[in-house]
Amino acid sequence: MNKSEKQFFVTVRSVKGKIPSITMPITSGRMSCHFVLLVVALALLAACGCTSVNSARPDSGKAHDLPGLVDSEFLFTEGPTPSCHASTIVATSDGFAAAWFGGTEESANDVGIWLSRRENGSWSRAVRVASGKLADGSPCACWNPVLFQPRNSPLLLFYKVGPDEPLWWGEVIASNDGGKSWLAPQRLPDGLLGPIKNKPIQLADGTIISPSSIEEFRRISQTQLADYWLSHLEISNDNGATWSKVGPLADPLGANTIQPTILVHSSGQLQLLLRSQAGKIFQSWSGDSFRQWTPLTATELPNPDAGIDAVTLRDGRFLLVYNHSDRNRHQLNVAISNDGKQWSAALELENEKGEFSYPAVIQTADGLIHVTYTWNRKRIKYATLDPAKFEPHPIVNGRWPGLRTEQQK
């Protein structure tokens, strides 16, 4: 660069989100101007042919080139509340029902449980189905709904009520018409919270196993409190009429695990996968019965202290939806496994700055997978997946294939 020339910067902005922005230093002069025009032209051409996670996944499109992604859409574009989070989904005789908590913001006393039903290919307008009240009748926040359909029984909707987690109690409402109407709420016995985030399972003998946990604080000095999180199971042998408690699970590493999800192996052994504060998804395995569990240990999969969910597939494989990061909730990923130990990357549902979190996942009789999750605390998103069309790649040493190291964070 000679004295008569000046250096400046040109930024080629992303075109419809299909290529990243590019910023480069340019020296003034005729040749530099031609170079800039060439870069811009190449960027436009690249945008026309480049495929990314987000461009291949429109909000309500029907055609996708991501193997296994059938469709994705929002339950609503203009929600009934400013904030929403922690969705749950269940299949009904007419389609699906999904619920979540929504209000001004998480923990505000106007937060209630909202529900939408999917029939004939579209989601109904959301309606409020539960509100929280303190003993004096004043409003109180609701949290973490969980829909569950026991065999030969009404549809159940569990949720938590309380100003914050250490003060929660559990409530449940029932529906005899697939979520169109609901009976009055029933409070669960003290010491039982119901399924804390993820769906229960029902064994062949009718036993319902509900994954649960507590979030409390313990004083570690005169001026300091520390998180004290423990996971446990709640068991019913009468379709939810009465419950007993198993646990808490032994946590020798102090990982502070919560929100278990349950996998059922062909041998009858059960596996729990859990959110933790230790940067990893943790696991525990049942012993001779579901009342005996191994101490919690870390898997190779990262966790940014965020909710996960998993499901045992009809073909015997296991599917997990989670944030593949130990720092944030920007990526929402789908992994698949034959044994619950070695996992392979199947799909990225989201990968951009924002919050994409708290997935709920089920499989229907046709083999398709249905996922709902939080989209930036503003909407609930719904995705349909076909596991037969996945093209999985092994996750080695906890790294998602194709991502740079900084993207794993």
Neighbours of 77 (CB within 10 A): 10
CA distance 338 to 206: 26
43 contacts: CB under 8 Å, gap ≥ 6: 12, 15, 19, 22
Q: Could you identify the residue written with the tokens 């230093």?
A: 25
Q: How far apart, in Å, are the Cα atoms of 402 and each of 143, 303, 394?
A: 36, 18, 11
Confidence band (pLDDT; 50, 70, 90) for 310?
Answer: very high
CA distances, 146 to each of 29, 150, 173 (Å): 64, 13, 11
In the predicted structure, residue 188 carries a pLDDT above the cut 60: yes
Q: How many CB atoms lie within 10 A of CB 272?
A: 24
Q: Which amino acid, residue 381?
A: K
Residue 144: phi and psi, rounded to 5, are 35, 70
148-163 pLDDT, tens digit per residue, is 999 999 999 999 999 9
Residue 5 has pLDDT above 80, yes or no: no
Query: Among all chains, which residue has been given the structure tokens 């709420």?
Result: 185
- The stretch 218-237 carries a mean pLDDT of 94
Segment (H or E) for 31? helix 30-49
The H or E element spanning position 171 is strand 169-175
Mean confidence (pLDDT) of the chain: 88
24-56 core/surface letters (b: 16 or more CB in 10 A; e: else): eeeeeeeebeeeeeeeeeebeeebeeeebbeee
Report angle CA 26, 30, 31 to the nearest 5 degrees: 65
With bands split at pLDDT 50, 70 and 90, how would you rate the model's confidence at 122?
A: very high
Confidence of residue 175 (pLDDT cuts 50, 70, 90): very high
The whole-angstrom separation of Cα 41 and Cα 137 is: 65
Q: For 253-296, list the strands marked E by DSSP.
A: 258-264, 270-275, 280-285
Query: Rounded distance, CA 49 to CA 259, Å?
Result: 42
Q: Is the per-residue pLDDT at 189 higher than 70? A: yes
pLDDT of 64 reads: 61
List of E strands, 63-123: 69-74, 83-91, 96-103, 112-119, 122-123
For the chain, how big is the Rg over CA atoms in Å?
Answer: 24
Counting every residue written for the chain, the total comes to 409
Give the residues across from 381 on adjacent strands: 74, 373
User: Would you say residue 7 has pLDDT above 70?
Assistant: no
Output the six-digit token pair for 254: 């102090």
Nearest to residue 382, comparing CAs of 72, 62, 98, 68? 72
- For residue range 355-372, what is the model confidence (pLDDT) as tens digits? 999 999 999 999 999 999
Distance CA 272, CA 340 (A): 10
Give residue 33's pLDDT: 44
Q: How confident is the model at residue 220 (pLDDT cuts 50, 70, 90)?
A: confident
Q: What amino acid occupies position 96? A: F
